[in-house]
Amino acid sequence: MPLILKQNQIFTTVSVAYQSMSIDILNVLIDTGSATSILAVDAVASISIEPVLEDIFHTIRGVGGTETVFMRHLDFFTS
């Protein structure tokens, strides 16, 4: 896993697959204190990961405030 240090934060590239489609996402921030991984919809929309009416939405809270998210089970998520 190649790591890149930018402004005292660690970044990497991840590969994500969903329903047999895959994409590489550059410059993903590694948050060592997070229990889960969160990706921007804009980064994964090209492989059909987008919110739909049937989704259950969750609100997460962190140092930066709150965010509404939805979940997907991926084929794989690697760096």
pLDDT, one tens digit per residue, over 5-50 is 999 999 999 999 999 999 999 999 998 888 888 999 999 999 999 9
- How would residue 4 be classed by pLDDT, with cut points 50, 70 and 90? very high
Model-level pTM greater than 0.85? Answer: no
Closest Cα to residue 47, out of 15, 79, 69, 70? 15
Q: Is the pLDDT at 79 greater than 90, yes or no?
A: no
Predicted local confidence at residue 64, as pLDDT:
85
The H helix count followed by the E strand count for the chain is: 1, 6
